[in-house]
Amino acid sequence: MGGYVVLLGAGELLKFIPVFGSFVGAAIESGIAYAITIVLAYVYIKAITLMARKRIDFNNEEKLQHEVDEILRNDKEEIKAMLKEAKNSYKPQK
């Protein structure tokens, strides 16, 4: 995810260029936000599903954090692929 932080920084720097920079910077930031939102939704839904299968109380924040950590540890390649696909499929509104 470090590359996305760099892109966010680049998006902010581009905003200093009047008109064009603002448009391009906003487009970069929107695409990154879109990709991260999709991945976060995937991780959350998968964690809740795992908790339901294990019959773990959904109000237990520690167990939820444990499931999320496990997903992030075990699904790294899938998450990277999702981020890349979401970033490439993002189409800003015109």
Q: Report the pLDDT value the prediction gives residue 18, as an integer from 0 to 100.
A: 66
Q: Report the pLDDT value the prediction gives residue 88, as an integer from 0 to 100.
A: 78
Within a 10 A sphere around the Cβ of 11, how many other Cβ atoms?
21
Full domain range(s) for residue 83: 2-89
Of 16, 36, 14, the residue nearest 85 (C-alpha): 36
Residue 50, in any domain of the structure: yes
The CA-based dihedral angle spanning residues 40, 42, 48, 54, taken in that order and rounded to the nearest 10 degrees: -130
Q: Report the pLDDT value the prediction gives residue 17, as an integer from 0 to 100.
A: 64
Return the amino acid letter for 41. A
Residue 94, in any domain of the structure: no
Q: List pLDDT tens digits, range 17-76.
A: 666 666 666 777 777 788 888 889 999 999 999 999 999 888 888 999 999 999 999 999
pTM of the model: 0.66
Q: State CA 10 to chain mean position distance.
A: 18
Residue 6, in any domain of the structure: yes
> Among positive and negative, which fits the CA dihedral 81, 6, 40, 77?
positive
